[in-house]
Amino acid sequence: MSEGIFVRCVECNTEFTETQVPDGTISCVQCGTQALPSFIEDDVTIKINWHELKILGQAAERWAEYIQKNGSSHSVDSQRVINAICGRLMAQFPHREPLTLSAEIASLRQEYGEVEVVGFTEDEEANDDER
């Protein structure tokens, strides 16, 4: 059994060797998340435009909100996982704009104080989808 880093928690980013991960455990022994970890052997380096990454981050955030609103069959807090992943990406490029809408609103609040977000209501979205 190799003693190298084996998996990384998708939420807290803690890395573990095989011997540090108890058999049959799917929760992180550091933060307790039930999200499946990332296998280190699957790490890749990619080239992506920040705008493309922002599109993916906002779509993932929206999907996590949908899962939370409509119930989920698993106990993973998808919104926390998405925020953690996007937070690690944004920390690598602190001068860039946020990757998620919630982080963008938070940065506006930090800069300007309280801000009001105005958008579609669910009824307006349903009517817009019918057009």
**Where does the chain show beta strands of DSSP type E?**
5-8, 15-17, 38-39
Of 78, 74, 87, the closest CA to residue 26 belongs to 74
Edge-first strand listing for the sheet containing 15-17: 15-17, 5-8, 38-39
In tens digits, the chain (131 residues) has pLDDT values of 457 888 999 999 999 988 887 776 678 888 988 888 899 999 999 999 999 999 999 999 999 989 888 876 666 788 999 999 999 999 999 999 999 999 998 888 888 888 777 776 665 555 555 54
Tokens matching residue 111: 């800069």
- The ranges assigned to domains in the chain are 1-45, 46-131
Q: pTM of the prediction?
A: 0.75
